[in-house]
Amino acid sequence: MFIILIAVTVLSSLVNGDTNIEIIRHWAGGFNGKFCVPISKELKSWKAHLKFDQPIDSVEVWLAEVTKVGDGKEYILTNKAWNGEEHVGDKLCLEFMGHIKEDIVPLGIVYLEELEPSGSTNAHTVPPLTTTPVPHTGGGSPTFHYAEALSNSILFYDAQRSGKLPANNPIKWRGDSALNDGSDVGLDLSGGWYDAGDHVKFGLPLASTTTVLLWGYLQWPDAYKSAGLTDKFFDMIKWPLDYYLKIWRPAEKELYVQIGDGQEDHHFWGRAEDMTMKRPAYKVTTSKPGSDVAGETAASLAAGSIAFKSRDPAYSQKLLSAAKSLYAFGKDYPGIYSASVTAAAGFYVSSGYKDEMCVGAVWLYKATQDKTYLTDAWGYNTNSGAPGFSWDSKTIECQIMLYGIKPSPVMQDVVEGYFRGWLPTGSMTYTPCGFAWKDQWGSTRYNANTVLAALVAADMGLQTLTYRKWGIGQMDYILGQNSKCFSYAIGFGKKYPLSPHHRSASCPDIPEPCSAANLKAKGPSPHLLVGALVGGPDATDAYTDNREDYVHNEVACDYNAGFQSALAGIVHLINTKNYPVPDPSKCPCKGS
């Protein structure tokens, strides 16, 4: 589980080796905690005693065996067979989840039996709370039913599925497609998600999408639970994760990073089910490396292993094993994938690989607590400003995650510096109606990604009220709080795009023909692509619902990723009564 330091109750260490437990997230029904105990002597094994100020129903820990003592005010954590050794100067750091019926912030301490002084009479009492938590920011009334938009986004990803569809497929106008992917290299590489309105499977934006979706879930699982979407999320996210297990071949040190030729694919307008063109498989290898796509895919696999840890332990371990070997491949054979696979360069050219390798290292550290990965992450990190947050630029994601692990004034300034550029007082372009506009290609995508990052940073205590109010204001614009009362998320609100640049949605039901004539056809597409986030307005707030306008009316997997996760963050604020009073909209919706 991905942990960010919020509502921190970190206190100074107590006498006789006691250390305070950090409660880093809480919701109705549970909380996440973390502790770090300094190691003062060589240990071959350890037992950590967690003591709380009130009974806790149960505790889950991935890296230790758990024993409940009495009524649940105390739990004993015992090392696994493989992680008992600790050395002088190290810190034993563990993260855990507690389950309890209320929404509480329990106080707690931890101590190691092995570090207790001889004859100690330490009573190990839970200390009083002496630090200030992340400020409460409630008082506002939600503008929209954000959980509905969250649910819709999952449906969009279901519509993007490639391969043999399951019996529970909710998108009835989609069928099996691209079942022979990988046949040109003698492999089954079917599955995964189509990139956008086309039918190529591009590895780097696909992996980025998956990582960002998992980040949002692991940050705010209560949002999905309260909306009744937990099972649907796992059903959705397992589709690309299963695909990654196919495309990574550790024994051969080969990662398949693209299926389909972009040029050939873009000459075809029709259903995915009707494709007849060749779909070549492209790979990175030891001689033609791709650390960017390897690091990002490893990040998805590692984050997936955390998400599935208690739900499906065997699958979780499979994901983690693949993440480790794939990350090692990216580290040992550095290089940029689009320089190795020129077929990708005309569509998703990569600017570098250190940001993706940093994110891969951080997620593996989160999944394993192996400090080697954390050391790697700091090595890949740069404290320079990030140009944005997208499928190609993960620098701010890396920096936020590292700050969450080890807060420092330097990293705080780096993270806050990114948002200073995005806020209205910074250098970002704003439309007349107050929408932060970075680029004509997917303006909503860049915006929503940064909203996600801002909400996570706010959970850490960084400019909490400012970032939450700004983030909600930007998401409200996307969802319809604008002069046109127009939502850029298809199917949400009263007015939204009806003619996205999406081949399959533009085609009538089989067996009716579909061709380029359907691209140019006037009027709504035959199928409503529910949940898809279109590219968005230009810098003047102008937008036309035109299927042929692939700049502003394209949809893509990476467009929805930050959007969906940011929605989860807003639902979490509502759940925890932290939804703030928003700033007034520059162009409020005044009717339909």
Q: How many helices (H) and strands (E) does the chain have?
A: 18, 15
Which has the minimum average pLDDT: 117-131, 156-170, 477-491? Answer: 117-131
Percent of the chain with pLDDT over 90: 80
Domain presence at residue 419: yes
- Check pLDDT > 80 for residue 274: yes
Average pLDDT (411-438) is: 96
Regarding predicted confidence, which is higher, 497 or 106? Answer: 497
Domain presence at residue 516: yes
193-235 pLDDT, tens per residue?
A: 999 999 999 999 999 999 999 999 999 999 999 999 999 999 9
Q: How confident is the model at residue 119 (pLDDT cuts 50, 70, 90)?
A: very low
360 and 296 Cβ atoms separated by less than 8 Å: yes
Domain presence at residue 404: yes
2-19 pLDDT, tens per residue?
A: 333 333 333 333 334 578
Are residue 237 and residue 88 in the same domain, yes or no?
no
Are residue 535 and residue 454 in the same domain, yes or no?
yes
By CB atoms closer than 10 A (0-12, 13-18, 19+), residue 524 is middle
253 and 322 Cβ atoms separated by less than 8 Å: no
Catalytic residue annotation = 545, 554
Instruction: Assign residue 191 a region (left: φ > 0; alpha: ψ between -120 and 50; beta: otherwise).
Output: left
- d(CA 381, CA 355) in angstroms, rounded, equals 7
Are residue 244 and residue 293 in the same domain, yes or no?
yes
| DSSP secondary structure, 218-234, as one string | HH-HHHHHHTT-HHHHH
Containing domain of residue 89, as a range?
15-113
Are residue 69 and residue 192 in the same domain, yes or no?
no
Domain presence at residue 483: yes
- d(CA 393, CA 386) in angstroms, rounded, equals 7
Domain presence at residue 140: no
Which has the minimum average pLDDT: 93-107, 152-166, 552-566? Answer: 93-107
Q: Give the pLDDT score at 10.
A: 32
Are residue 185 and residue 84 in the same domain, yes or no?
no
Q: Give the pLDDT score at 17.
A: 53
538-562 pLDDT, tens per residue?
A: 999 999 999 999 999 999 999 999 9
Q: How confident is the model at residue 53 (pLDDT cuts 50, 70, 90)?
A: confident
- Check pLDDT > 70 for residue 471: yes
The contacts found for 422-425 with CB under 8 angstroms, 24 or more apart, are: 422/450, 422/454, 422/470, 423/466, 423/470
Q: Give the pLDDT score at 324.
A: 98
Per-residue tokens: 531: 């949940």
Domain presence at residue 57: yes
Q: Give the pLDDT score at 122.
A: 53
Of the residues 88, 113, 138, the one at which a domain ends? 113
Strand partners, 75: 50, 68
Strand partners, 255: 248, 284
Are residue 400 and residue 528 in the same domain, yes or no?
yes
Q: Which CATH number goes with the domain that contains 103?
A: 2.60.40.290
Which has the minimum average pLDDT: 32-46, 139-153, 390-404? Answer: 32-46
Are residue 103 and residue 165 in the same domain, yes or no?
no
- d(CA 72, CA 192) in angstroms, rounded, equals 43
Q: Give the pLDDT score at 1.
A: 32
Total domains in the chain come to: 2
Residue whose pair of structure tokens reads 């009362």 in the numeric block: 485
Regarding predicted confidence, which is higher, 154 or 134? Answer: 154
Cα end-to-end distance, the chain, whole Å: 42
Q: How confident is the model at residue 130 (pLDDT cuts 50, 70, 90)?
A: very low
Q: How confident is the model at residue 29 (pLDDT cuts 50, 70, 90)?
A: confident
Are residue 330 and residue 380 in the same domain, yes or no?
yes
Are residue 103 and residue 160 in the same domain, yes or no?
no
Domain presence at residue 588: no
Q: Give the pLDDT score at 104.
A: 76
369-379 pLDDT, tens per residue?
A: 999 999 999 99
- d(CA 236, CA 232) in angstroms, rounded, equals 6
Are residue 154 and residue 109 in the same domain, yes or no?
no
Are residue 39 and residue 177 in the same domain, yes or no?
no
Q: How confident is the model at residue 591 (pLDDT cuts 50, 70, 90)?
A: confident
Q: Give the pLDDT score at 128.
A: 53
Q: How confident is the model at residue 132 (pLDDT cuts 50, 70, 90)?
A: very low
Residue whose pair of structure tokens reads 């397992």 in the numeric block: 238
Q: Which CATH number goes with the domain that contains 229?
A: 1.50.10.10
Are residue 471 and residue 530 in the same domain, yes or no?
yes
Q: How confident is the model at residue 360 (pLDDT cuts 50, 70, 90)?
A: very high
Domain presence at residue 7: no
- d(CA 183, CA 191) in angstroms, rounded, equals 13
